[in-house]
Every structure is written in structure tokens, then in C-alpha cells.
Chains A and B, each alone.
Chain A
Amino acid sequence: MVKNKNEKLQKQRLASKYKMGWFFMAPGFIIQAIFGWFPLVVVFVIAFQKFQVIGPSQFVGLSNFRIILDDPMTPIVFKNTLFYTVLSLALTFIIPIIVAIMLLEMSKATIRVMMILWFIPYSSMAGLILWKWFYNPFYGLFNGILVSLGLPTLRWLNDPHLAMLCLILPGLLMFAPGLIYIATLQSIPREYYEAAELEGAGFWQKIWSITLPRIRPIMAMMLILAVINNMQVFNQPMVMTAGGPANATRSVVMYIWELAFNSMYLGRGASLAILLFFLIMILVLLQRKYFKEDLDK
């Protein structure tokens, strides 16, 4: 009898706990519903409509998709975006990890100083505009260096072959997510390394068998976020090249933005966004399949 009563009380407590949980979640739940999930429905509705800002919109079936697929610009922007993503991951993904690992080899005092100096964040707009100034073919720093070394000058952002690489370099220096890696590395217990040492593990062995497995979940997460972010590159081409030269740097999101908000073809913009969405989803799924967060699972 007493036991039964206790159980009932416990159940009541649990129920009230869960009710409080819903209460706590409510504001976030609503905003997430409106601005997180609802747009996913809306975008599919708009993509099948001839959507005008003024006047009625009408259902047009697949014609938006047909127009987008026939648009000579579409393959160009997808090619540019994929090229940007691959190049930028190759150049910028590993470096913060290496730096974070190396930084932790320093003495405590050095770490404190270097942390500030290495990871001080630049505001992205200031950084991009500064880099654009670096690349300036007439007054820029880079051509200045080339000239004082007696080398021929380059056209940097005005050269269709170089422009994409130029857009990536700022990311190398300015927006590195090293802070997150440092924090993760610091949370690895020291004992692991000491134990490995007793067993005679060397420098590389320790990295391979302790450090990397430990930061693997974070690496997997950062890789997914990096792919998603890089596939949606917008600021760099918008600020530094405005899509030029000869469309060599126009990205998908930039084209979506131009379609929707400059030409007011919201339906076409939405259908292009859906194509990008599926491409990114495929990349993310492939990644989750081949780059598992946990090796144990």
C-alpha cells in the first residue's frame, strides 16, 4: 500500500517535471517552428508558383525548375560553389586542428598569450574589405611585394583563374574555429597521455591513438558545418568580386539572392534553393556515412 502510494507520488513528480520541461521549451519551440521548420514547407510551395511581389501568384507546376535547369548560369554557379567548397576545405579545415595541437605543447604562459594572438576574431566585413585592398592590382600590398621582389604583377581578383583562390585565402587567416578545438583538446585527461608514455608511445603514436579519436566527434561536426557553410558562400564573392570576373566567382546563394531580391523571381530563387538543399543533404549524408562520429558505434 505504502509502496503503491510512493510510486504514485513519484509518477506525479515526473509528470510535473516534464510539464515544466515543455513550459521551458515553449518560446524556443515556437520560434523554431516558425523560422526553422515552417520555411521548409513554404519554400516547396513557392517553388511551384509564379510568385510576384504585387499581384496574385499562380501555380505553374515544374516550370520554375525547368527555367532554372535551362538557365546557362546554373551549371556555372554550381561548379563555382563546389570548387570553392573543395578548395576551401582542403586549405582551411586541417590547419586550425594542427595549430591547436601544437599550441598545447607550449608552456602555460605562452598558451595564454598565443591564444589571444592566434584566435583574435576579425569582424568578417572588415576582414574581407581589407583583403580586397590587399589584392588591389594598382595600389595593393601583394602587387607591391611582387614588384619589390622584381616579379611580374598579377591581376588577383580580376583574373578569372585566380579569383576563386583569392576568395579563400581570407578564411585561412581570419575566421579559423581553432578555439573550439583548443577547448576540446584541453578536456582530454592528461592520464591518457601519461599511460601511453609508460607504454612507450611516441609523438605520432600519441596523436594517432589518443588525440585524434578524442576530437573525432568535434571534427565530424565541424566538417559537416564547414561543408554546409562553404556550400552557401555569399559574403566573399558579394563583397570582394560581386560575382565577377566573367562569373568566375558567382556562387549559388548569390545567384539565389539576385534572382529573388534583384529580379524579384521568388519562385525561381526558391527552386534553385531546393536544388542546393538536395545537393547539400546528399553531401551531409555521405559524410555521416563515411566519417562516423564515434568509432565504437
Chain B
Amino acid sequence: MPLISEVGKRKLKVRLTLILITIFLWIGVIIHLFPVWWMFTTSIKPYTEVYQFPPTLWPRNPTFASYKLIFWLFKGGRGRLGFLCPIWVYIKNSFIISGGTVIIQVPITALVAYALSKLTSPRSSRILFLYFIGTMMIPISISLIPNYLIIRHFPFPTNRVPKIPFTSTPFPSINFLDTFWAVIIPSAYSAFSVLLFKGFFDTIPDEIINAARLDGASELTIFRRVILPLSRPTFAVVIYFAFTGAWNSFLWPITVLRDETKFPINVLMYKVERVVSTLSRETALTDENWREILQAGFGMNGVMMLAIIESIPVFIMFIILREELMKGIKLRGFK
């Protein structure tokens, strides 16, 4: 609309460009949505059809067998796939991690961004901004090993907890490995969220806040009563990015969560896929347990079914928050 004027729309050339753009965009949409279709059809194909070449575009004998199988395979107590817990435990783990990240990260970053935007002296604001945003430029991989060590006996990144001087008792420390805190605490602060919040808070005129101050409101009240209602869309954006970020995080969970009962669903999926795809025909036929699993019809169809389960929360978050997302993104670059 902004580039092509309403007036020119009657010209043939202009109309042709518009049609071409439309066709391009719809083709893009189809290509973009095709993976969802493929996930779904693969998950409802029976085992024999999944391993058929060339693959069928439309499932010939649709069946929901893999959906039932997944509960049978993960019955718990060292289930047939070799995983300890029933499937819903892994889904719950993912929700605890993502939900915990959102609940802790959003208020912390909102307060930081508000303070950066409105409550710092001009002298210190530049340096504080660098302090809070600077880590965005630093690769996460460099803090991977140190953070692992810090988490191992918080807050000492040494391989032994130092002793309190002149005594033989070590300093108090906490081992967060194999707990959900190990994943949640390092992501309790996120520079990107601060940037998103600050981009919006900077657009709120100071007069509103000053007026509230003159009425005798405390800073916390101003934040709660004046700023919060104004910035709902921005909160939606940050919640969305924090949630999907935590839901998709993979490197950090596989590093600090070695306990199988604590896996989030995407780590479980990674492990199951690895087992299914590297399984050779021979082991499958000689191993009693695997023969049973394969005869029941579990293969890539089951993995795709897990993929669908894993995608649903992210889809839902997007659909619920999409209106707010459009209004709420107010980034201004690294400024």
C-alpha cells in the first residue's frame, strides 16, 4: 500500500506487479505451511506407509495408531523405549522451564528497562546501558563452560568449593545441576527483552510520569498503575519471545540436565529420533524389545507425532498474542 499508490492502480503495469507480488506471497505461504502438513500426515501414516518409497503425499490408510502407541511406549518405569517417564512428564518439564523463565524474566527485565529509560541520571545512563545490553554482543558459547561451573556449585566456578579461611568447612554453595533452576536462573535476565521493553518505555512521554509524581504517587505505584496498562502489547511481545526462546532452547538443557526425568520435550525428541533413525534392521530384528516396538508400528510416524505435540504450544502462543505482537515491537537498534 505505501509503495504503490491508489491512483496508479488502474495502470496495467502496476496491476501486473501487484498480481505478481500476490502470487509470490501465496507460493511462499504454501511452502511455509507444507512442513506442518508433512508432520501431520507422517504422524497418521501406518508404519509400512512411512517407510515406503517414494513417499505418499496423501496418507492412504490414515490411522491414529502412533498417538496411542506413544502412551504405550512411555508407560513409565523403564518403558519400552528405554525412557523412565510417561510422555506427559516431559511435556510438563518443558512447561515448567518455559513458564518459570517467563515468570522470572519478564518482571526483572521490565523493571531494568523502566529504570534505564526513566530513572537514571544522564551521567550514569550510558554506562548502565552498556552494562545491561553489552552482553548481547558477547557470544553465548563463551559463557557456556563458566556458567556450567557456576551452576555446579553456585556461586563458585571452581572445581572445589573454597574453604572458609582458617577453618576446614567449605563455603555454603548450592548444586543446581539436574534441577530446573539450572535452566531458569541463567535466563532470568535477557538483554533482548530489556531492549524490547526500553524501546517502548522511551516512547512514553515524561509528562505523564511527572504528573503522577506530583500527585504523590511512589515510583512503584507509577510503574504499576501508569506504565503497566500502557505497555500491554510490549509485555505480550516479551512474554512471547521469552517463552519460545525457553521452549526451543536445546544447548543449555542438554548441558545441565543429564537426569532423564528432567528432560524437556525437545531433548526427549532428539534422543528418540536418534534411536529411531540409527536403528539398523539387524538389531531391530534380533532385539526382542525392538521387534515388539516395530511390530506395533512405531517409527518416524511416532517421532513426527512428538514433533506435533512439541509445536503446539508455540503455535498457540503466536495465535493468541499476534495482535499484540504487531503493536508491541518497538525496537530502535542498539541505541
Contacts and interface: CB of A to CB of B under 8 A. Distances in A.
Contacts of B311: 122-123, 126
A72 interface: no
Interface in A257-271: 257, 260-261, 266, 269-270
Nearest to B193: A28
Contacts of B31: 173
Contacts, number: 317
Contact of A273 (B53, B136, B144, B277): B144
B293 interface: no
A120 to B, nearest CB: 6
Interface residues of A, number: 116
A143 to B, nearest CB: 8
A235 B135 contact: no
A280 B303 CA distance: 36
A103 interface: yes
B38 A130 contact: yes
A182 B314 CA distance: 20
Interface string B157-171: 111100000000000
B219 A183 contact: no
Given A25-B112, A235-B250, A139 B310 contact: no
Interface residues of B, number: 107
B32 A118 contact: yes
Interface in B269-323: 269-270, 273, 277, 300, 303-304, 306-308, 310-311, 313-315, 318-319, 322
B333 A217 contact: yes
A152 interface: no
Contact of A126 (B39, B53, B137, B334): B39
A211 B1 CA distance: 13
A147 interface: yes
B145 A106 contact: no
A140 B35 CA distance: 13
B82 interface: no
Given A21-B115, A130-B304, A260-B145, A35 B3 contact: no
A29 interface: yes
A139 B314 contact: no
Interface stretch (A49-57, A84-92, A159-167): A49-57
Interface in A238-257: 238-239, 252-253, 256-257
B61 interface: no
B138 A24 contact: no
B112 A52 contact: no
B269 A36 contact: no
A114 B25 contact: yes
A122 B311 CA distance: 6
B128 A25 contact: yes
B250 A125 contact: yes
Contacts of A126: 39, 266, 269, 306-308, 310-311
A151 to B, nearest CB: 12
A57 B310 CA distance: 41
A125 B138 contact: no
Interface of A: 13-14, 17-18, 20-22, 24-25, 27-29, 31-32, 34-40, 42-43, 46, 51-57, 99, 101-107, 110, 114-127, 129-134, 138-141, 143-145, 147-148, 173-174, 179-180, 182-184, 186-188, 190, 193, 197, 203, 206-207, 211, 217-218, 220-221, 224-225, 228, 231-232, 234-235, 238-239, 252-253, 256-257, 260-261, 266, 269-270, 273-274, 276-277, 280-281, 284, 293
The 9 closest A-B pairs by CB, nearest first: A21-B119, A217-B333, A144-B54, A39-B146, A183-B329, A39-B143, A42-B146, A126-B307, A125-B266
29 contacts: A18-B121, A20-B220, A21-B120, A24-B219, A25-B115, A25-B132, A28-B109, A31-B188, A39-B142, A39-B146, A46-B145, A46-B149, A54-B159, A99-B28, A101-B3, A105-B4, A126-B269, A126-B310, A127-B35, A129-B269, A141-B38, A147-B53, A179-B325, A184-B331, A221-B334, A228-B139, A252-B141, A257-B144, A276-B142
